[in-house]
Structure 1
């Protein structure tokens, strides 16, 4: 019997008591409300808000900023003294001097808390639903609540336990938080569907196994966040191996022969993705991951002269040095994960006319002089035959025709190191072919979990459990050998935790795992470009001041993290 649905989405349940922590007095109403909806359509309508804010969480100035600009991978100076100043928040983030009023910290918190609230609303509705598929939808919503709590635990050191929208959440930390998240993921593991059924944009069986693996791998950190060292329990490492084995054996994901195809704008169908933020254009995604780092005078699309980059973060010279140290006298571009050349003008300067359909900017880590379409007075220059003219780029849009778009290795917070062309850039995600501004209409799914990370997590667990260097080496080399579209990187001959850490940087750079990696490997208190703060209290971020103020009617409920 069809269930008559009069409301798909109700006012989101408060995570805490009224007005506590953040503004969750949102009323989300579907304009397609209709008694004619099928039960499955109604169920989809209840589940959709659980995922709806993922693109906001993973924006370049939110989760990405917290997980990358706080590390040795990314640095964002005050460009030219005019751009990306933002009251010094990116300088402070990189230096581990972030405060509880930082807008990136606050926006990420608010998005995650709202997503938790929406998950609870969906869970409550599915519990009372008579729809035959309600159990699977309920499991999915519970799993997403666990995932959002994993983000909370990782970034802010806390998790929220809440079942009834009308009650106050219980705040848990450390072991209690780990056990709660673990219990939720284990409870729903038998109920969620395989990736082949729901795709990578929804929580699926392999994704649950992957989240469990990630939770167990980081459990030592979460238990003792300020510890001088971490004790990686053998039981935890066994579980990492158990669940990564499940993923690999299941065949639900496959390593991609073409590394950069994992980040193309059609990557929703890439077999390597396990769990991702669904960014297909019809879902109104954004592609700012592609736009954030490249130059404002790089125009990746022949069709859209207004679509460009923004001269955002570059990689630090410290991170670049990990590549050159590993490859010695060989240019690291020999590694297909480092660089992909898409225009022959880089190797043959006479090739200055390109068919529009063949025009693509290069991918990976971009160094030195850049070439591309030249925009003058709002239009691209053309060759006599109508083809797109490409050439040496300068900062015309900044009224600096004298300044070449030639990325230097040096980047820091000095005047010279903060110029528009300072720092090697990252063009990992493909610039969406449909984005007429460079800022919206992104197609590329943003990776949360992919198979290469699963292999590398298993390798790490083997090393930490029993120093199984041979087993870890086999896993790492399996990932390297898979990239066969071009010559794959050479097989490694030995393995250690330091080599594995370096390898995770090569494989997963710009994928928002660097901060937890640095903490877990004992690197986060180190010194790198413009960063000397060694305070262990900075491993997690401050709870936003407005969240603490919002809970002021509950004395002692919301405690600020140590060191803030």
Structure 2
């Protein structure tokens, strides 16, 4: 998508949500403006279909549901004053959340708004004259299928609707799986190959089909004691992964963190992503959410900082420690990338502003950075910026160092501002004056490493092809070779593959479905002992059920809520 798509959208004032449950849209301006060309008009119709993705992938929406509900991320009540939010993050992590959780409600609403906009585009694009309308129609229908995948994964249901005036049919289980599959297969021939990753392409459709088939056993029988991974489903996973790999269109990134840089829109590892370039008014929440409020990543924006949000659990951190034994986990370049040189060279305490970049990956221990006093950064005598140990000055706790501890939990001690190792995976946008806005980095939905690891999993589940799976996993590990790559593995099992997915995809909003598929979601970890399989899906927001009350029996709450 180009910038002009959003300009067209602003001029046209195309769409407004009317009902989250009935999926109705109101066309505010069917003429799209008399000065628009046919091509601008069709671009204006497809733009809203994608426009909700940055909001869905905001830090408190899809991320909260897919990460804070797992053993990877925990968000305690910081210092007894911050991130309390009526206990919603504590409940999400402990699996005691309910139907009035605002993050669940917002995620539901945003996904259904995206789906509703897709339906509007599906009905409008066939009337347009521009040749690109055929491609955009396929994208709109494919995006409806993607939004359906999200509702199936998160809430266990799919809304089926072809016209804006209809009442949606609700389907679940096998019927929902077959519907999404058939929709993706129907649009794949008309999708382009090289307009991504911010638009749905053939490769994007193949990656979604692979993910759909891999999770088919879960979607068919959500509360099964043991999932039935059918060989024919695993064959399809392998088939679509093979298509992507053999296309030659994508390549694994040598630099792991480059996948999440500001300029990652052109990174060849990305297959399908949320187009977050600053000119499209993206957000920087993935970068700011975890780091300290006294970490200021940008020398020219003294108001841009972190927020002391979620940390990783000790349980997740220990998987790295256990994997590498007597070696520090940073032997794996996916774990950490040092950018602040004072850690290894104490003399580097004065840095030119443009040369300053905060560290990436999993941040442990005492943090160094730009020193801010009275709202401005301290400078050295040569005009460079002072870099030193950080304390919690912004919290009026100058006695508390920004020294991230492994311990983090819901106790008073474990909920302090400095508890828990933090994650800075996405690059902090250099244009984000507040730290929250103007995120340049595209947010990953699917990428090539996932294709290799999905294929590896399918090989293991179908025929226990450990050798084939090991080769796929080691291909990904060996590719991260801009520095010393992680050491090759010698064996492969499902448990090792689950661990490897945790190393490769942490903080990428796939942990919850991974844990469910591997039978780990009812386990015990920091502050979580609930083992109810009904928590594998989230409750339908009470507001949605109340809104549908005029149709008796139309929208029923999920079991266990």
Q: Which TM-score bucket, shorter chain as reference? A: over 0.9
1:23 Cα offset (Å): 8.4
Q: How do 1:460-539 and structure 2 match up within 5 A?
A: 460-539=457-536
Query: Match of 2:362, SS?
Result: strand
Task: Kindly indicate whether residue 324 of structure 2 is the aligned counterpart of residue 327 of structure 1.
Answer: yes
In the alignment, the residues of structure 2 paired with residue 125 and residue 12 of structure 1 have an alpha-carbon distance, to the nearest angstrom, of: 15
Task: Kindly indicate whether residue 243 of structure 2 is the aligned counterpart of residue 238 of structure 1.
Answer: no
In the alignment, the residues of structure 2 paired with residue 472 and residue 312 of structure 1 have an alpha-carbon distance, to the nearest angstrom, of: 36
- Give the direction of change, closer, same or farther, for the CA distance of 1:221–1:346 in structure 2 (3 Å limit): same
1:22 Cα offset (Å): 7.1
Q: How do 1:194-213 and structure 2 match up within 5 A?
A: 194=193, 196=194, 198-213=195-210
Query: Match of 2:400, SS?
Result: strand
Query: Paired residue for 1:157?
Result: 156
In the alignment, the residues of structure 1 paired with residue 16 and residue 288 of structure 2 have an alpha-carbon distance, to the nearest angstrom, of: 33
1:545 Cα offset (Å): 0.4
- Give the direction of change, closer, same or farther, for the CA distance of 1:353–1:9 in structure 2 (3 Å limit): closer
Task: Kindly indicate whether residue 371 of structure 2 is the aligned counterpart of residue 374 of structure 1.
Answer: yes
Query: Paired residue for 2:429?
Result: 432
Question: Could you report, residue by residue, the CA deviation over 1:50-99 in whole angstroms, capped at 9, with x for unpaired residues?
Answer: 00110000000000000000000000000000000000000000000111
Q: How do 1:91-490 and structure 2 match up within 5 A?
A: 91-194=90-193, 196=194, 198-490=195-487
Query: Match of 1:190, SS?
Result: helix
1:24 Cα offset (Å): 5.4
In the alignment, the residues of structure 2 paired with residue 199 and residue 388 of structure 1 have an alpha-carbon distance, to the nearest angstrom, of: 39
1:332 Cα offset (Å): 0.3
Query: Match of 1:122, SS?
Result: helix
1:385 Cα offset (Å): 0.2
In the alignment, the residues of structure 2 paired with residue 164 and residue 353 of structure 1 have an alpha-carbon distance, to the nearest angstrom, of: 62
In the alignment, the residues of structure 1 paired with residue 27 and residue 416 of structure 2 have an alpha-carbon distance, to the nearest angstrom, of: 44
1:34 Cα offset (Å): 2.6
Question: Could you report, residue by residue, the CA deviation over 1:4-43 in whole angstroms, capped at 9, with x for unpaired residues?
Answer: x9995655586xxxx462785666669x943231111110
- RMSD of aligned residue pairs (Cα, Å): 1.6
In the alignment, the residues of structure 2 paired with residue 461 and residue 67 of structure 1 have an alpha-carbon distance, to the nearest angstrom, of: 22
Question: Could you report, residue by residue, the CA deviation over 1:207-235 in whole angstroms, capped at 9, with x for unpaired residues?
Answer: 00000000000000000101111000001
In the alignment, the residues of structure 1 paired with residue 29 and residue 274 of structure 2 have an alpha-carbon distance, to the nearest angstrom, of: 23
Query: Match of 2:379, SS?
Result: coil
Q: Which runs of 5+ in 1 are unaligned?
A: none
1:462 Cα offset (Å): 0.3
- Give the direction of change, closer, same or farther, for the CA distance of 1:143–1:80 in structure 2 (3 Å limit): same
Query: Match of 1:36, SS?
Result: coil
- 2:42 touches 2:133 (CA, 8 Å); kept in 1? yes
In the alignment, the residues of structure 2 paired with residue 13 and residue 69 of structure 1 have an alpha-carbon distance, to the nearest angstrom, of: 28
In the alignment, the residues of structure 1 paired with residue 186 and residue 446 of structure 2 have an alpha-carbon distance, to the nearest angstrom, of: 20
For normalisation by structure 2, the TM-score amounts to 0.96
- 2:23 touches 2:116 (CA, 8 Å); kept in 1? no
Query: Match of 1:203, SS?
Result: coil
Query: Paired residue for 1:55?
Result: 54
In the alignment, the residues of structure 2 paired with residue 415 and residue 29 of structure 1 have an alpha-carbon distance, to the nearest angstrom, of: 54
Query: Match of 2:272, SS?
Result: strand
For normalisation by structure 1, the TM-score amounts to 0.96
Question: Could you report, residue by residue, the CA deviation over 1:384-442 in whole angstroms, capped at 9, with x for unpaired residues?
Answer: 00000000000001111110000000000000000000000000000000001100011
Q: How many residues align?
A: 553
In the alignment, the residues of structure 2 paired with residue 249 and residue 223 of structure 1 have an alpha-carbon distance, to the nearest angstrom, of: 30
Q: Which runs of 4+ in 1 moved over 4 A?
A: 5-14, 22-30
- 1:12 touches 1:121 (CA, 8 Å); kept in 2? no
- 1:69 touches 1:93 (CA, 8 Å); kept in 2? yes
Query: Paired residue for 1:21?
Result: 21
In the alignment, the residues of structure 2 paired with residue 357 and residue 255 of structure 1 have an alpha-carbon distance, to the nearest angstrom, of: 28
In the alignment, the residues of structure 2 paired with residue 349 and residue 150 of structure 1 have an alpha-carbon distance, to the nearest angstrom, of: 50
Query: Match of 1:189, SS?
Result: helix
- 1:300 touches 1:431 (CA, 8 Å); kept in 2? yes
In the alignment, the residues of structure 2 paired with residue 9 and residue 430 of structure 1 have an alpha-carbon distance, to the nearest angstrom, of: 32
Query: Paired residue for 2:5?
Result: none
Query: Match of 1:384, SS?
Result: coil
Query: Match of 2:553, SS?
Result: coil
- 1:318 touches 1:529 (CA, 8 Å); kept in 2? yes
1:343 Cα offset (Å): 1.3
- Give the direction of change, closer, same or farther, for the CA distance of 1:436–1:139 in structure 2 (3 Å limit): same
In the alignment, the residues of structure 2 paired with residue 263 and residue 24 of structure 1 have an alpha-carbon distance, to the nearest angstrom, of: 35
Task: Kindly indicate whether residue 87 of structure 2 is the aligned counterpart of residue 78 of structure 1.
Answer: no
1:315 Cα offset (Å): 0.1
- 1:8 touches 1:42 (CA, 8 Å); kept in 2? no
Query: Match of 1:145, SS?
Result: helix
Question: Could you report, residue by residue, the CA deviation over 1:462-504 in whole angstroms, capped at 9, with x for unpaired residues?
Answer: 0000000000000000000001110000110000000000000
In the alignment, the residues of structure 2 paired with residue 29 and residue 89 of structure 1 have an alpha-carbon distance, to the nearest angstrom, of: 39
